[in-house]
């Protein structure tokens, strides 16, 4: 059964209690997901990217597939 994936990038600042979704991207399941996610994090400078999967292309029933954290994109502020 084919799986469908999309990723959501998040801007996060723990010091200011910010956890905001930025952009949503459909992923190509025939390509390496980790590589696609790393590129999206770089483009959006996103410290967190969550990938969701669905059994259907209409994404009516989605579930969290994997959460990625990128320390290099943390805000670095001191509050």
**Higher model confidence: residue 19 or residue 1?**
19
Provide the whole-model pTM.
0.90
The pLDDT tens digits for 12-53 are: 998 888 899 999 999 999 999 999 999 999 999 999 999 999
How deeply is 17 buried, as exposed, middle or buried, from its count of CB atoms within 10 A (0-12, 13-18, 19+)? exposed
pLDDT of residue 50: 98
Domain positions in the chain are: 4-73
Q: What residues contact 34, with CB distance under 8 A and at least 6 apart?
A: 68
pLDDT of residue 79: 58
| φ/ψ of residue 44, rounded to 5 | -90, -5
């Amino acid at each position: 059964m084919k799986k469908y994936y999309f990723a959501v990038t998040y801007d996060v600042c723990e010091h200011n209690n910010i956890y905001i979704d930025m952009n949503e991207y459909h992923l190509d399941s025939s390509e390496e997901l980790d590589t696609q996610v790393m590129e999206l994090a770089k483009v959006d400078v996103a410290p967190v990217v969550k990938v969701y999967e669905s059994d259907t292309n209409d994404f009516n029933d989605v579930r969290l597939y994997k959460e990625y954290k990128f320390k290099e994109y943390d805000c670095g502020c001191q509050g």
